[in-house]
Chains A and B, each alone.
Chain A
Amino acid sequence: MFSSLSGGERQRLFLVLALLNRPRLVILDELTQGLDPAARRNVWAAIRQLNDEGTTVLLVTHEMDEAEALCDRVAVMRAGHVIDAGALADLVERHASTAVIRFSMPDPPRSCWTRSASSTGCGRWRGPGRGSRCAATGASSPTSVPPWCAGSRCQTDLAISQPGLEDALLELLNGDQDEQTAAVSGTRRTDRRTAMSTAVGRLVRAELKLMTRDPLVLTFVFAFPIVTMLIIGGAFGTRPDPAFDGTNPSHWYVASYLTVVIAATGLVMLPVHLASYRERGVLRRFAASQLPALVVRDRPAHRRAC
């Protein structure tokens, strides 16, 4: 049934499932990926309504228009680290405050191009001729168009491009890239190794915590061996018995049941957990992470279609 749903229908189903118990916080990861524009707008409306009703929404997205449409605060991440965060307008102001004013001026007065940048209001400008361009710093609006241009011929195709979140993101990531390139490679290797060991440590700790709460594990790895050992260990008495190679039957079973714990872990718990993780795509996400190849291996290409 689920496999017959389209990508968009699956995303909508995930949203409904996430909201079933009316959570106070929802984490939506690439929710609108693969949706057609109409479905995307519907999901946006649903998220807005959810937020209006008091639910905090943590939205993970690569679509800047989506972030601009839905988010009050934005955190930009690179390689698992937040490199900047803040209100949308603050981020844009910090990293991309330059608006670009474009206009054509086929036959400009010569005096225009001899004016200094400060007197025209432009940080830098290019011209004369068609496609003359003026890059103005600061929050630009039609009123900030250089006065020598206002009212003249160039106003017919005057266009002001306000910087958006995407421009801010590009500036921010470029700057961050430069800083990363400047870093010493040895330090980077150490950081990466530390990040990996931290990730593996967290994974193991989380897995152990989940295991101790899983009914299957509690039943087969903890309860079953102990209960059956108590019952069967006492069933044959405690006197040495030839059927048990002349040993105390209870001791025979105490020594034997340690291996039952190992077998239950290997034959019952592990296959179920692993198959479940594979079904839900958890292992694929790990494969795409920074974990070492020894911990997570990707499926060979010839088996991908299965």
Chain B
Amino acid sequence: MACALLLAVAAPVYGIPAVHDAWRVAVALPLGAVAFVSLGVLLGSLLPSARAAQAVGLLLFFPSFLLGAGGPPPHVMGSVVKQVAGPLPLTLLTNAVRAPWLGLGPATGSLIGVAVLAVAATAVAARRTAL
């Protein structure tokens, strides 16, 4: 719902770019959703309180956001920052969605990374989930 709203807002302002490889985008988005939902379930299960979950969640979200999706493009990042940003889950997911969408390449490595992350996070979350 939030994704649809975001696209609805973006459409009249910037326009929505044509999707070059719809299949890969269609695979990457749900895989990414599964991976991040599993990470969220894991965090929510392991952290002792809602406040702790909020603190840790925000601590993970903002660096991921700045380095992996909403910040400067990788080409203008320093080499160290680029190395740090590369393996972040959000960077992998963004590459796996953005590259096939804009026709920048298949981003198979990123897609596999997201798939591995989704499977691993789901397996760990299923094992560790506690009420």
Q: Check B50–A279 contact: CB distance below 8 A.
A: yes
Which A residues are within 8 Å of any B CB, using their own CB? 216, 220-222, 225-226, 228-230, 232-234, 238, 242-245, 247-276, 278-279, 283-284, 286-287, 296-300, 303
| Chain B interface, DSSP helix/strand/loop, else mixed | helix
Q: Check A238–B14 contact: CB distance below 8 A.
A: yes
B87 close to chain A: CB less than 8 A? no
Interchain CA distance A274-B38 in the complex, whole Å: 12
B3 close to chain A: CB less than 8 A? yes
Instruction: Point out the residues of chain B lying under 8 angstroms from A278, CB to CB.
Output: 44-45, 130-131
Q: Check A276–B50 contact: CB distance below 8 A.
A: yes
Instruction: Point out the residues of chain A lying under 8 angstroms from B41, CB to CB.
Output: 270, 274
Q: Check A261–B98 contact: CB distance below 8 A.
A: no
From A238, A245, A257, A274, contact of B69 by CB (8 A)? A257
Q: Check A243–B73 contact: CB distance below 8 A.
A: yes
| CB-CB under 8 A for A265 and B37, given A234-B14, A256-B70, A259-B90 | yes
B58 close to chain A: CB less than 8 A? yes
Q: Check B102–A230 contact: CB distance below 8 A.
A: no
Q: Check A230–B9 contact: CB distance below 8 A.
A: yes
Q: Check B44–A275 contact: CB distance below 8 A.
A: yes
Instruction: Point out the residues of chain B lying under 8 angstroms from A253, CB to CB.
Output: 14, 70
Contact with A along B67-107 (1 / 0, CB 8 A): 01110010110000000000001100110011001101000
Instruction: Point out the residues of chain A lying under 8 angstroms from B75, CB to CB.
Output: 242-245
Q: Check A267–B131 contact: CB distance below 8 A.
A: no
Q: Check A222–B5 contact: CB distance below 8 A.
A: yes
